[in-house]
Structure 1
Amino acid sequence: MTTEDVLLTADTDGVRTLTLNRPKAYNSLTVELKECLLAALREAAAAPDVRAVVLTGAGKAFCAGQDLKEHVGLLQADDPSPLRTVADHYNPIVRTIVDMPKPVVAAINGPAAGAGAAFAYAADLRIAAASANFLMAFANVGLGPDSGASWTLQRLVGYGRAAELMLLARTVQADEAKQLGLVGEVVPDEELAGRAHAVAAKLAAGPTVSYAKIKEVLTAAAESSLEDALLAEDAAQTVLGSTADHREAVEAFVAKRKPTFQGK
């Protein structure tokens, strides 16, 4: 399998779909795949024609997390690279997803474990296939959480549930995931790709500058006081109030027509 094969990229309707493509290995994360994914996310963030991103997996799994076969082989060879992968790969991937100035939709097509689940938690929206499930498996291999899971998971489900899911390493099926707030929607397996694209395409046609600011203030507010949150909101509104998209939306409202957003 070549470097280009481990991650597939497709563009339609302003949406860039990134597909983890190691289906025989449940899309587990090798160094090669992590480097390809990080580069692809950074490229999508910078590309003006990409207005929304879908992250999904090929085959029956979303992502099984770290490829343990590669990991143990490197450890046995006394290669120090496994100890650097959090700093070199996982942290930058999650930062890029969270800081992406456009919406990211995770289309969870099957099992999502460890770092794979954490990537989904970092997305803005999560849509799961009925066959999907989530597993915080770090404790099973004697490790703690990484890829931002300690930050994202408890913001989705609260500290108590996050601690339960991490300490007990309990698998959460799609329906329970929706009840807990891990995902916003569960659809039949065969409808997932279409539904995820439809949601992303709707976002891509919207005021993407506004979406970027919404993400920015939400992230900042997660760690700020009310006063700081109010200041951040005020700063964002000042910027957004002068955008072409805001003017278009107001004019369209007055004219009773549908607005056409340009992301400007």
Structure 2
Amino acid sequence: MTTYRFIKVSRVGDVVTVTLNRPDKLNALTPAMFGEMGAAVDAALTDGARALVLTGEGRFFCSGADIAPDGAGYEGLPEDLGALLDEHYHPFMRKLAALEIPVVSALNGPCAGAGLSVALAGDIVVMGERGYLLLAFVNIALVPDAGATWLVARSAGRARALEMALLGERMGADEARAAGLVTRVVADEMVLTEAQRLAARLAAGPTRAMGLIRRQVAFALEQGFDATLDVERDNQSIAGRTGDFAEAIRAFGEKRKPQFSGR
């Protein structure tokens, strides 16, 4: 398995865990980190992974973008922040959105700025009870980016998104769950264990159907009811021809649990 400088990658069965690994910088994001994360996801897919876990090393999941030079090659933020997003942030966020395998986010600690975008891109988000979410952009005179506007507004609604973005205040774990931003809140020491347990369950499921479900939900968030009916029909035609559906029918007839292969 490839060794990276700013992330760690591990695999158990069909689950690949990608860990942001700059704990001394609270896992602050740089272009190089986005490049490594994208490469790790591509390698996981090539190697046949069927679920992905995203987490952070140390006491933060991610503090957002690294805004200061580090004296070791990283020069800090450029003058044109939009170009930075286009070149480094957006390719990775689009890659996550387009994946055909499920993603579980394990928020081992606080999550701020663009780190919040990465975290909420997960299909299932497990958060530690002492963590918090923070749309910190307004505190440094910037706007939410890396998809945070869409991710928060679609999950929590217009009013809550505006409150978070305009006030730049921390949101605790229980409030984040109540707002629909995270899926589960567990003891801090159980975050990664719970996320990997869920990922293992997903990895044992009908992978092609799950990929279609991811795309179908994303489509439904942007389109009307009638258009969504058409997409459901088209996807059901695809799913109905998979080996996993055939296995489910056999298992039903034989009164046993299906053994999905992801095909």
- 1:95-114 matches, within 5 Å, as 95-114=94-113
Q: Is the 8 A contact 1:74 1:81 kept in 2?
A: no
Deviation at 1:47, TM superposition (A): 2.3
Q: Confirm or deny: 8 A CA contact 1:52 1:201 kept in the other structure.
A: yes
Matched position secondary structure for 1:5: coil
Task: Tell me the equivalent position of 1:29.
Answer: 29
C-alpha displacement at 1:43, in angstroms? Answer: 2.9
Alignment partners' CA distance in 1, 2:199 and 2:256: 22
Question: 1:38, 1:89 within 8 Å by CA — same for their partners in 2?
Answer: no
Distance (whole Å) between structure 1 residues aligned to residue 80 and residue 25 of structure 2: 21
Structure 1: distance between partners of 2:40 and 2:224 = 34
Find the aligned partners of 1:245 and 1:231 in 2 and give their Cα distance.
22
Residue matched to 1:146:
145
2:131 pairs with 1:132: yes
CA distance in 2, matches of 1:5, 1:91: 21
Q: Work out whether 1:247 is the aligned partner of 2:246.
A: yes
**What is the Cα deviation at residue 33 of structure 1?**
1.1
Q: Is the 8 A contact 1:19 1:57 kept in 2?
A: yes
Residue 118 of structure 1 corresponds to 117
> Is this contact kept in 1: 2:29–2:65, CA < 8 A?
yes
Spell out structure 1 runs of 4+ moving beyond 4 A: 71-75, 79-83
Q: Give the C-alpha shift of residue 41 in structure 1.
A: 2.3
TM-score, normalising length: structure 2: 0.94
Q: 1:108, 1:128 within 8 Å by CA — same for their partners in 2?
A: yes
Bigger helix fraction: 1
Spell out, residue by residue over 1:190-230, the C-alpha distance to the aligned partner (whole angstroms, 9 max, x if none).
11111111000000000000000001111111111111100
Asked if residue 262 in structure 1 is aligned to residue 261 in structure 2, the reply is yes
Alignment of 1:208-227 (within 5 A): 208-227=207-226
Q: Aligned equivalents of 2:125 and 2:79: distance in 1?
A: 34
Distance 2:209 2:95 in 1: 18
Residue identity matched to 1:43: A
Which residue identity does 1:17 align to in structure 2?
Answer: T
Shift, 1:5, TM fit? 2.9
Q: Distance in 1 between matches of 2:43 and 2:145?
A: 23
Kindly provide the CA deviation profile for residues 115-173 of structure 1, in whole angstroms up to 9, marking residues without a partner as x: 00011111111001112110001111111111111111111111110111111111001
**Alpha-carbon separation, structure 2, partners of 1:63 and 1:70:** 17
Aligned residues of 2:31 and 2:89 also touching (Cα < 8 A): no
Give the whole-Å Cα distance in 2 for the aligned partners of 1:43 and 1:154.
Answer: 32
* TM-aligned CA distance change 1:137 to 1:185, over 3 Å: same
Match of 2:11 in 1: 11
Contact kept, 8 Å, 1:206 with 1:263, in 2: the verdict is yes
Question: Which residue does the alignment assign to 1:196?
Answer: 195
Structure 2 match to 1:164? 163
Runs of 5+ unmatched residues, structure 1: none
Q: Which range moved further: 24-33 or 54-63? A: 24-33
- Aligned residues with identical type, % of pairs: 39
Report the Cα distance in structure 1 between the residues aligned to 2:76 and 2:67, rounded to whole angstroms: 10
| Alpha-carbon separation, structure 2, partners of 1:155 and 1:259 | 34
What is the total number of aligned residue pairs between the two structures?
A: 258
Offset at residue 38 of structure 1 (A): 2.0
Note if contact 1:30-1:70 (Cα within 8 Å) is conserved in structure 2: no
Counterpart AA for 1:42: D
Q: What is the CA-CA distance between 1:82 and the residue it aligns to?
A: 4.4
